[in-house]
Structure 1
Amino acid sequence: MRHSRTYTYRPARAAPRRADGAVPSLHISRMRLLIVLVAVAAIMLRVGIQLVTLTGETVELNGTSVNLRQMARNEVNSRQVIEPTRGVIRDRAGNTLAMSIEAPWIVVDPTTISDARAADLARELGGVLGMPAAELEAMLTDRTTRYRVIRRWVDPSTARAILESLAAGEMRFSGVFVEYHQRRIYPAGPSGAALLGAVNDEGTGVAGVEAYYDDILRGRAGILTAEIDARAQPIGIGQQELRAANDGIDLELTIDPFIQSLAERELEQAIAIQSADGGVVIVLDVQSGAIRAMASLPSFDPNEYQQYPASVYNLNPATSQVYEPGSTFKAILAAIGLQTGRFSADTQVDDTGEIDRYGYRLGNWNRMANGLLTPGRMLYYSSNVAALQFAEMIGTESFYEYVDRFGFGRPTGVDISAEATGIVSSPASAGWSPIVLSTNGYGQGIAVTPLQLVRAMATIANDGVMMRPYLVERRCRGAECVSTQPRAIKQVVAPDVAQAVQRMLVESANHYAPVVWSEITGQGGDTWLVPGYEVAAKTGTSSIPNGRGGYETDGVIGSVVGFAPAKQARYAILVKIDRPRRDPWGVDTAIPVFQAIAEQLMRYEHIPPDAALAGPGQIAGELVAAHP
């Protein structure tokens, strides 16, 4: 719309005359006028040039090109990051294992606080936060920054008191601000901490599942660009541009809360009885590769993970730490030998108790001879002398080919951070000699992770098919979920080979039954390890390398790995006890844990017992009644 203006016409007035009646000379006046006009024109030309330049995109100021439109936008626009909410982690029953809440920080701008006020403010704030006044005063008077965090994750009531004081216009907390940030909390505390990991104050996963899935858990930040007023407040009718935040993906783990609790309870009890340094229990679903329990001690509280050494919270003992498997590896040896055809289930070797190899005398744990042994009896007596002879029958090339096929010396691919590869020496390795093959046959001189070993045993239980182990069952955004599909990696050994080793391991497991049952039943002979069920297991007692080319003289690892039930197995179970001080042998330290877990799992899965699979003292008739 054009605004109209009104002009009023006035006639020209005659030029005044001088007193003498003469008309003033116009020549001089015109000259002066010309000079004035030229000057004005020059000024206007300069101003015009400036005006024309100002209407463009840039101006030149002191030799610097400045974009005026961008300057204008910067002056009136505010760009605010909208923090996404990190995804929730739940177990397979829907229980929350990790979630994020809004929690307060106390921050200050030291440049707004005078030295005169700093001491008083330090006393006021110190009393509320429980911090030394001197420490606070030093922070308040350090003006190298305009943003200083005084305390993270303060109690909500403390933050509320400060906010109420500020809202009331009180000066005692002037210069103090309360900010709210996302804090990760773990309702179950130390339970499952090693597999979950933790999140740091910047919102980044630092270990476990939190670190492995950090990219999808953390989501994508949003951006709000808005026009603001002189007080830096958004203008209601101003222009706004919003890119919404995408919250993180929720994860549902494969962990079964009953099985996890069972594993943790039995492990904790065994460590206490044995005065051990720690241990690991893994329960793996044989047919899918899903991890149903992964317990390790010592643990940590992920809510306060910074209070622990990095070696505790950064490394999951089940996947990040290696050890020599000892005699548990003999089950793998038997499978390799049968698969390669280098020996059969009926092949015998002479166990003399001790044997010389390459300048060394190697022997059984008790140095006692057991006579002629088949692979099955090698497992039953846990004979080192028989194992090394069977390893030599297989030969170097075939042995290490199948060690690799069973997944040793490489990561399993489990979805958790910092997985170790293990250590496997071969003829291509520096310092390798033929004696390494001999000792590898009974699990010495080779290093594995607990997960690698239990997966290998699960492969035997699964008729030779290796499954990829995994921890995340589903990834969800709201009601839309994507499930993890079990993935078969390969057929490691033939089904008939796996089934032959399964039968050997049932005999091996029942050999350990008196350790658990002799005091209960009064029976001294062999009976069933888990009454009513065939289960498979192999124990191990392994030395601990001392880092100087030898082994510790006063520390061992007791372990067992197996599966239940032996036919159509549901679960593979590994138990590892570090440096037990009461009983050094795996049969004494780990078998009671294995037995208790296997028995509870059979009941949990409602697998009916067979009354015929029980010794006289195990009250076979009552087994069926106890398992409706």
Structure 2
Amino acid sequence: MGVEDKKTSYRIYLVAVAIFVMALLVSIKLTNIQWVEGDYYRQLAKERTVKDFTIPANRGNVYSADGSLLATSIPNYTVRFDALAPTRDNFNKYAQELADSLSVMLGRPSNFYHDELRKARKHNNRYFLVAKGLSYTEYLRIKSFPLFNLGAFKGGIITEQRTIREHPIGRIAERTIGYERMGHSGENLEVGIEGAFAKYLNGKDGRQMMQKIAKNHWKPISDVNQVEPVDGYDIVSTIDVYIQDIAHHALLKQLEYYEADHGCVVVMETKTGYVKAISNLGRNTDGSYTETVNYAVWEAQEPGSTFKLPVLAALLEDKKVDTSKVYDTRNGSIPFAGGNVKDSNGKGYGKISLARGFELSSNTVMALAVWESYKDNPKEFIQRLKSFGLNKKLGVALKGEAGPKIPEPGDGIWSKATMPRMGFGYGLSMTPLQTLTFYNAIANNGEMVRPLFVKEIKEWDKIIKKFDKEVINPKVCSQETINQVRAIMQNVVKKGTGSKLYSPDFSMAGKTGTAQVNYGAGKDNMYYSSSFAGYFPAENPQYSCIIVIHKPSTSKGYYGADVSGPVFKRIAQKIYTDVPSTNEVKRLDKKIKKQDELYASYDTRMNKLTSGVPNTIGMSGMDAVAMLGNLGLKVQVIGMGKVKKQSLAPGQAITKNQTIILELS
């Protein structure tokens, strides 16, 4: 028995020692955690439960030149409820009132919200969804509701904010207004004005500390932000909403009628280079058209006959020919270096002058003129084109501008046929905006200006940065050359390939263009590009414009004058007839017989007045009031028309400030 007791005592001592050792080890570990590694574990806990969240700044607005809103950031709010945050007393006190308020605002029965709120508290739901997709005004309203007005900690309201970019005018000029967002591979996609001026629009993000309350669910630690976000600057573009609407719908109408693949239109203010309208529309699989690619800036191609303008300007500037020189178009087909240059009518125009050849868009005339003038020194021709700036990018603010390509001797693509083909716009490439810029320079008396899409950067009413006219070339060619080519372009519309566009009501000048695209890829892959470039009014140009339409249905037509020309005319016509104007009033000194008679009658009545009240019966109310007022009477008028009754008898003595009542018929 004694032995058993000793064994039992031994076991008890052993267990006690083990417990003591374990307690000692736990104490040592706790001490180590608290004092030695405490900072590390506290920081680790904080990192896992508290996080610094970025609060995106409100992106600046984009406005049109006339102040219309083109793009704006709209805050969008989601409100949730931490059902464990309020005390029991506060929850019981305000739950019903909160449910009543939610019912009025959100439209469901009050008892529904009351049951949901109590259910959330019962199940310890710290992230109960109350409402989403709220506007800022709605968010402020719901934030003021009972219980929620106590704030995040006492009231349990959790607010999540994100920003939505809206375009109030819809998808018109969407590609030019642009956007900035992440691509599928994580790259930053910067398009249009939104992308080009992102550093001004973005502002500075704020920060807020958030506490983790559940898996991927966080709530603010305090009711105020750690760092408040700073809104971005506003951008005032050069776009005129009225002209943009005209250009967009004129282009869309032609694309739909001709079942074309895509097209673009640009309208530019001649003197400043401000782009007043730009539309780029591509065909979708369902036959509709939307803005997906900025063809005007991005798409470089052989321009076709619209390039005949710089060719003509080069010939005249280098004094190679004059506009009266005659060329024989033969039967409309002239061989050059193993190939033939053909006129579009298939039979030629006989013997015609250079000016007439341009007006009729004769390929043979332009090819002959270039070949005969520069065959011994082709570099002179290329150098003249370069002096126009046609070999360089414009350097516009929008990203993605394609570079022009002007071949020259020594290039791998140069051959004997290159220069004659360049005479009618083949063998080189330019974007529509680059072509338009040269036309605009001719309209602007030789001053080439860079196309601009933004006028100002503003912070409220304060101008941060202003974009004025930027001159690329102060004089692309002599005034003599400019005057000649402008007169010829006016004749293109009056009696040339653009004669269908002529209107006696408003003047235009320009050049048609029809180019074959993918002509080397076989007949099935070849299609036409139809274009028109010019300016208006012809005598004092205010706007320049280019239209390019790709792959129109050949069964309906494909010539530039038929496909793109009407878009140009529609834009010019609408701007001419619909834009308000200020008319000068002339010949103010001219006598008007009726007015003279009325004044004479009034003077006669006034001269006949005595010191008494005059008889105004039969007079117009306006004349009677003027007459009586001049006599010092106060006049009250009842009705309209002529005086049929007066309260004071004619001849009655007049007392100063006396009132007379006139009843009019």
Same fold (TM over 0.5): yes
Contact 1:508 1:536 in 2 (8 A): yes
- 2:169 paired with 1:196: no
Match of 2:166 in 1: 185
Query: Could you say if the C-alpha distance between residues 255 and 435 of structure 1 is closer, same or farther in structure 2, counting changes exceeding 3 Å?
Result: same
- 2:311 paired with 1:337: no
Match of 1:423 in 2: 405
Match of 1:221 in 2: 205
Note the C-alpha offset of 1:245.
2.5
Aligned pairs for 1:151-300 within 5 A: 179-200=160-181, 206-223=190-207, 234=221, 242-298=226-282
Query: Could you say if the C-alpha distance between residues 535 and 312 of structure 1 is closer, same or farther in structure 2, counting changes exceeding 3 Å?
Result: closer
Aligned pairs for 1:95-174 within 5 A: 95-104=68-77
- 2:436 paired with 1:454: yes
Match of 1:323 in 2: 301
Contact 1:99 1:184 in 2 (8 A): yes
Note the C-alpha offset of 1:410.
3.1
Distance across 2 between alignment mates of 1:558 and 1:314: 20
Contact 1:266 1:593 in 2 (8 A): yes
Contact 2:264 2:295 in 1 (8 A): yes
Note the C-alpha offset of 1:564.
0.8
Amino acid at match of 1:335: A
Match of 2:95 in 1: none
Match of 2:566 in 1: 592
Query: Could you say if the C-alpha distance between residues 268 and 74 of structure 1 is closer, same or farther in structure 2, counting changes exceeding 3 Å?
Result: closer
Query: Could you say if the C-alpha distance between residues 106 and 323 of structure 1 is closer, same or farther in structure 2, counting changes exceeding 3 Å?
Result: farther
Structure 2 residues without counterparts, runs of 5 or longer: 1-27, 81-128, 149-157, 585-665
Aligned pairs for 1:301-312 within 5 A: none
Aligned with residue 535 of structure 1, among 484, 495, 508: 508
Match of 2:536 in 1: 564
Distance across 2 between alignment mates of 1:220 and 1:495: 50
Aligned with residue 436 of structure 1, among 375, 398, 418: 418
CA displacement 1:491-511 (0-9 Å, x = unmatched) = 211222112110110111112
Give aligned-pair identity as a percent: 24
Distance across 2 between alignment mates of 1:401 and 1:355: 26
Match of 1:132 in 2: none
Amino acid at match of 1:251: I
Distance across 2 between alignment mates of 1:586 and 1:77: 65
Aligned with residue 360 of structure 1, among 339, 342, 351: 339
Report the secondary structure of 2:417's partner residue. helix
Distance across 1 between alignment mates of 2:493 and 2:55: 58
CA displacement 1:207-242 (0-9 Å, x = unmatched) = 21111112221112134579999x976469xxx995
CA displacement 1:106-163 (0-9 Å, x = unmatched) = 99xxxxxxxxxxxxxxxxxxxxxxxxxxxxxxxxxxxxxxxxxx9xx96879x99x99
Distance across 1 between alignment mates of 2:278 and 2:416: 36
Distance across 2 between alignment mates of 1:368 and 1:431: 30
Query: Could you say if the C-alpha distance between residues 71 and 554 of structure 1 is closer, same or farther in structure 2, counting changes exceeding 3 Å?
Result: closer
Amino acid at match of 1:270: Q
Contact 2:63 2:236 in 1 (8 A): yes
Distance across 2 between alignment mates of 1:471 and 1:462: 18
Query: Could you say if the C-alpha distance between residues 606 and 372 of structure 1 is closer, same or farther in structure 2, counting changes exceeding 3 Å?
Result: farther
- Higher deviation after alignment, 552-561 or 317-326: 552-561
Match of 2:639 in 1: none
Amino acid at match of 1:411: K
CA displacement 1:236-287 (0-9 Å, x = unmatched) = 9xxx995443211111111111111111121122222222223211111111
Query: Could you say if the C-alpha distance between residues 416 and 605 of structure 1 is closer, same or farther in structure 2, counting changes exceeding 3 Å?
Result: farther
Amino acid at match of 2:343: N
Contact 2:360 2:497 in 1 (8 A): no
Amino acid at match of 2:432: P
Query: Could you say if the C-alpha distance between residues 551 and 413 of structure 1 is closer, same or farther in structure 2, counting changes exceeding 3 Å?
Result: farther
Contact 1:197 1:313 in 2 (8 A): no
CA displacement 1:455-480 (0-9 Å, x = unmatched) = 11001111111001010111111111
Match of 1:372 in 2: 351
Structure 1 residues without counterparts, runs of 5 or longer: 1-46, 108-149, 168-176, 301-306, 518-528, 610-628
Aligned with residue 487 of structure 1, among 453, 470, 480: 470
Note the C-alpha offset of 1:328.
1.2
Note the C-alpha offset of 1:362.
1.6
Query: Could you say if the C-alpha distance between residues 350 and 248 of structure 1 is closer, same or farther in structure 2, counting changes exceeding 3 Å?
Result: same
Contact 1:540 1:586 in 2 (8 A): yes
Query: Could you say if the C-alpha distance between residues 200 and 536 of structure 1 is closer, same or farther in structure 2, counting changes exceeding 3 Å?
Result: same
Query: Could you say if the C-alpha distance between residues 445 and 290 of structure 1 is closer, same or farther in structure 2, counting changes exceeding 3 Å?
Result: same
Contact 1:545 1:552 in 2 (8 A): no
Query: How many equivalent residue pairs?
Result: 484
CA displacement 1:526-585 (0-9 Å, x = unmatched) = xxx131343211101111115x55676662111111111122311111122222221111
- Higher deviation after alignment, 364-373 or 316-325: 364-373
CA displacement 1:315-370 (0-9 Å, x = unmatched) = 30111112321111111111111122222233333322211111112211123232
CA displacement 1:378-408 (0-9 Å, x = unmatched) = 2111111111122221442132223334343
Query: Could you say if the C-alpha distance between residues 550 and 212 of structure 1 is closer, same or farther in structure 2, counting changes exceeding 3 Å?
Result: farther
Distance across 2 between alignment mates of 1:472 and 1:327: 31
Distance across 2 between alignment mates of 1:549 and 1:76: 64
Amino acid at match of 1:570: Q
Match of 2:494 in 1: 510
Query: Could you say if the C-alpha distance between residues 465 and 154 of structure 1 is closer, same or farther in structure 2, counting changes exceeding 3 Å?
Result: same
- Higher deviation after alignment, 391-400 or 561-570: 391-400
Query: Could you say if the C-alpha distance between residues 465 and 193 of structure 1 is closer, same or farther in structure 2, counting changes exceeding 3 Å?
Result: same
Distance across 1 between alignment mates of 2:240 and 2:222: 52
- TM-score, reference length from structure 2: 0.63
Amino acid at match of 2:65: R
Distance across 2 between alignment mates of 1:515 and 1:338: 24
Contact 1:512 1:591 in 2 (8 A): no
- 2:452 paired with 1:470: yes
Query: Could you say if the C-alpha distance between residues 497 and 264 of structure 1 is closer, same or farther in structure 2, counting changes exceeding 3 Å?
Result: same
Note the C-alpha offset of 1:291.
0.4
Distance across 2 between alignment mates of 1:607 and 1:459: 27
CA displacement 1:437-468 (0-9 Å, x = unmatched) = 11111011222211111111001111111001
Match of 1:388 in 2: 367
Distance across 2 between alignment mates of 1:588 and 1:220: 51
Distance across 2 between alignment mates of 1:77 and 1:356: 81
Report the secondary structure of 1:200's partner residue. strand
Amino acid at match of 1:601: I
Query: Could you say if the C-alpha distance between residues 180 and 313 of structure 1 is closer, same or farther in structure 2, counting changes exceeding 3 Å?
Result: farther
Note the C-alpha offset of 1:375.
3.0
Distance across 2 between alignment mates of 1:181 and 1:295: 30
Amino acid at match of 1:367: G
Amino acid at match of 2:311: L
